[in-house]
Amino acid sequence: MRPPSRDLVRRFQRRLLAWYAHHRRDLPWRHTRQPYRVLVSEVMLQQTQVDRVIPKYREFLRRYPTIHHLARARVEAVRRLWYPLGYNIRPVRLHAIARETVARYGGRLPDDAAALRRLPGIGRYTAGAVLSFAYGRDAAVLDTNVRRVLGRVFLGPRRLARVRGERAFWDLAEVLVPRGRAYDFNQALMDFGATWCTPRKPKCPRCPMRGFCATVAAF
């Protein structure tokens, strides 16, 4: 897939960040840059709605305020606390990450992608989230919402139908990250996908991307 022009990249970055300044959600994990807390929120948000995650995130951090507390806990207790969120391999993996991080890194999550991805259950998305949200690195994130936004804005329905796999989207996501602004940009992309460019009712008539969105242009 050909990368978008520099001009288009800049317009998208500017408009997304301006949109975020007015529409950002106030979420508890946006009040911290602590890697452990960022990791807990990201693992909880996999497969689970934000509204359900918020109270459990707070409860979890009251019980296990640091990665050392979590590493010392019994995995069954962690599972029990997590239980209502479902998809219960996640607390087991999080607990394993805590133990390995304490054992190998003295309790500090690594700040490079390769080392993060060697930890149990950490894939490219979670590594990008920890790097950009906790360490301020220019790392990309790609989840379902981000993929939809990028597909709509930069590809449109016909080109989108020809794309196979995730690689093209990761390449695109990486090109788009503005240097030094990955934190806000990635949070903005996720909010934009979750609340504005939604699967069923995207707000196209009022959208700041309307002038160059490939999906709008196709209809």
Is residue 197 part of the contact set for ligand SF4 (CB under 6 A)? yes
Binding part of the chain for ligand SF4, among 111-119, 123-131, 133-141, 202-210 by CB under 6 A, reads 202-210
Q: Residue 110 and residue 115: Cα distance in Å, rounded? A: 6
SS (HEC) of 125-162? HHHHHHHHHCCCCCCCCCCHHHHHHHHHHHHHHHHHHH
Give the interface size with ligand SF4 as a residue count (CB under 6 A). Answer: 13
59 is catalytic: no
Considering the complex, state which of residue 120 and residue 156 has its C-beta at the smaller distance from ligand SF4.
Answer: 156
Window 140-159: residues binding ligand SF4 (CB under 6 A):
152-153
What is the DSSP secondary-structure string of 168-193? HHHHHHHHHPPTT-HHHHHHHHHHHH
Q: Select from 48-56, 84-92, 139-147, 210-218 the region that touches ligand SF4 (CB under 6 A).
A: 210-218
Name, in order, each residue with C-beta under 8 angstroms of 136's C-beta and a sequence gap of 6 or more: 33, 182, 183
Applying CB under 6 A, which of residues 58, 104, 108, 203 lies at the interface with ligand SF4? 203
- Residue 31 corresponds to which tokens in the numbers above? 């009040």
Is 213 a binding residue for ligand SF4 by CB under 6 A? The answer is yes
Tell me: does residue 216 bind ligand SF4 (CB under 6 A).
yes
**Among candidates 44, 25, 19, which has minimal Cα distance to 194?**
25
Cβ pair 185, 176 in contact under 8 A: yes
- 204 lines the binding site for ligand SF4 (CB under 6 A): yes
Tell me whether residue 106 or residue 199 sits nearer to ligand SF4 (CB atom): 199
Both tokens of 213, joined, read: 């969105």
For ligand SF4, the closer of residues 173 and 197 by Cβ is 197
Active-site amino acid positions = 42
- The residue ranges that bind ligand SF4 (CB under 6 A) are 152-153, 196-197, 202-204, 207, 209-210, 213, 215-216
